Amino acid sequence: MEDKKPHILIISTSPLSYTETFIKAHVELLDGKIFNIYGWGLDYNNSDGISLRDLYSVKTYRKWFSLLPHFLFFRMQQESSKKNTNEMLIKRYLKDNKIGVVLAEYGMTGSFITPICREVQIPLIVHFHGIDASSYEILERFKEGYQNMFDYATWVIGVSKRMVNDIVKMGCPKKKVVYNLYGPNRDFCDVRPNYQSNNIIAVGHQNFKKAPYLTILAFHQVLKKHPNLKLHFAGGGELLEVSMNTALALGIENQVIFHGKLQRSEVLELIKKSFLFVQHSIIAMDGNSEGTPVAILESMMAGLPVVSTIHAGIPDVVLNNETGILVNEKDVDAMAEAITKIVEDRALAEKMGQAGRQRALARFEIEQHIQKLNQLIKEI
C-alpha cells in the first residue's frame, strides 16, 4: 500500500536540470513516496517552484495574523530572522509530509540540513557528486559543516573510488561511506551506433573540468589526416563561447558542431550517427573534478568506444585498451593519437564499443544504483 512506503525527501541545490540525470532518477525511481525541494541554505522551493514561504503564507501567517494584534504580528516578523523563519518552515514541511528519511543531493545541501534533521531526529543520507568533494573553496567553506554532517548522517555516498577515499580523508567514518556508482538510463541500451560514420560525439556541460577546448585541440590534430570527420558537442555552459571561438580560430568551425542543450531523445539520435565518444576531463584550477561522468556510462551502454582521461572515476568504468583508451590529463597529443587509432580501425571501434556495452549492462545499470539506495533506506 502507498501508506506503507517510506516518505523520502530529496533536497537538491537547484531545479532538476538536463545534466542532473542522476537526481532525476532518484526522484522517479526510488521506492517510496517522493518529495523534492531545492534551494541554497535553508531557503527552499518545492518541485513546482513555489517557495516554502509562499506555500505556508496562507496556512501559517494568515492564521497568526487573525490571532494577534497587527502591531504584534509585524513586530514578530521584524524580530524573526530569515534563518529562523526558514528553519521553522522546513520543520513544518517535514512534519506535514511525514518525512521518514532525507536524501541530500551534494555535500553542501547535507551540511545545511544536518542541524534540522538532528533536531527533529530524521535520518539523513548524503549523496556526494563531484564538485562538493573536490572544490577547494567548498571544502574550506564547509569544513565544519561537513564534520557535523559526517557525525550525524547514517550514510554518505560517493560515486567513484577516489571520491570514497576523499570523503574518508575529510573525516567521515569509513563504516558510513558507501560506493554507489551511477547507472545510465536503459534507453541507451537500445541504441546501435554507426561504426562506419565520420561522427564523433561529446556530451556534457561545457565547463572547466570537462575542458572541451582540449578536446577540440586534439580533434584539430586528427583532422590533418582525416578531414572528413565531424565532432558534435551536446551541452551548454560557461565555456561554450570559448569552445566556439577555439574552433573558429583553428579554422575548423565547419567540422565542430555545437548543438547546445539537447533532450535525451536528441542525444540518442546523435549517438546512432556516431562511432566514438570523447571527453577530456581534468582537475580544474579551483580543484573541481568529476565524480564518474554519467555521459561516459551512457555512451558505453550505447556501444560507443570511449576516449577520455585518467581522471576521478573514469578509470573505474573505462578499461584502457578494452572498452576505450585513456590518456593523461592535458595530454592533447596522446588524445589525438588515441582518436586516430580508433578512426583508422573501425573493427577495433566496434570491438571496444561492444565490450563497453557488456560491461555497462553487467555492472552499471541504473537499477543496481537504485537498488542499493533502496537497500540503505530500508535499513534505516
Q: Does an H or E element contain 104, and which? A: strand 101-105
**Residue 67 belongs to domain spanning:** 2-183+365-379
> What is residue 14's predicted lDDT score, i.e. its pLDDT?
86
| DSSP string computed for 13-67 | SSS--TT-HHHHHHHHHSSSEEEEEEEETTEEEETTS-BHHHHHIIIIIHHHHHH
Contact assessment for residue 198 and residue 228, using Cβ atoms and an 8 Å cutoff = yes
117 and 207 share one domain: no
Phi, psi of 358 (to 5 degrees): -65, -40
| DSSP string computed for 135-190 | -HHHHHHTHHHHHHHHHH-SEEEESSHHHHHHHHHHT--GGGEEE------GGGGG
> What is residue 58's predicted lDDT score, i.e. its pLDDT?
43
Helix (H, G, I), strand (E, B) or coil at 120: helix
Strands 43-46 and 33-40: antiparallel
> What is residue 70's predicted lDDT score, i.e. its pLDDT?
47
355 and 370 share one domain: no
Q: Is the pTM of this model over 0.85?
A: yes
Q: Tell me how far apart the alpha carbons of residues 100 and 83 are, in angstroms, rounded to a whole number.
A: 23
> What is residue 19's predicted lDDT score, i.e. its pLDDT?
55
Task: Provide the total of helices (H) and of strands (E) in the chain, helices listed first.
Answer: 17, 13
179 and 218 share one domain: no
24 and 63 share one domain: yes
Contact partners, residue 175, CB within 8 Å, separation at least 6:
none
274 and 349 share one domain: yes
215 and 268 share one domain: yes
Q: Tell me how far apart the alpha carbons of residues 340 and 325 are, in angstroms, rounded to a whole number.
A: 11
C-alpha cell at 36: 523534492
141 and 233 share one domain: no
C-alpha cell at 242: 570559448
Helix (H, G, I), strand (E, B) or coil at 212: helix
175 and 242 share one domain: no
54 and 131 share one domain: yes
82 and 101 share one domain: yes
In angstroms, how far apart are the furthest CA atoms of the chain? 81
Count of the separate structural domains present in the chain = 2
Q: What is the CATH number of the domain that holds 341?
A: 3.40.50.2000
List the pLDDT tens digit at each of the 380 positions of the chain.
456 899 999 999 988 765 577 888 999 999 999 999 999 988 999 988 899 988 887 444 444 444 544 444 454 454 456 678 889 999 999 999 999 999 999 999 999 999 999 999 999 999 999 999 999 999 999 999 999 999 999 999 999 999 999 999 999 999 999 999 998 888 999 999 999 999 999 999 999 999 999 999 999 999 999 999 999 999 999 999 999 999 999 999 999 999 999 998 999 999 999 999 999 999 999 999 999 999 999 999 999 999 999 999 999 999 999 999 999 999 999 999 999 999 999 999 999 999 999 999 999 989 999 999 999 999 99
Dihedral of the alpha carbons of 234, 236, 239, 245, in degrees to the nearest 10: 70
Sign of CA dihedral 348, 269, 180, 328: positive
CA-to-CA separations, 266 to 14, 191, 260, 270, 296, in angstroms, rounded: 24, 12, 11, 6, 16
78 and 102 share one domain: yes
- Beta bridge partner(s), residue 362: none
Contact partners, residue 126, CB within 8 Å, separation at least 6:
104, 107, 109, 110, 149, 153, 155, 156, 157
Q: Tell me how far apart the alpha carbons of residues 107 and 112 are, in angstroms, rounded to a whole number.
A: 9
Phi, psi of 160 (to 5 degrees): -145, 160
The residue with cell 553542501 is: 108
147 and 224 share one domain: no
Contact assessment for residue 172 and residue 152, using Cβ atoms and an 8 Å cutoff = no
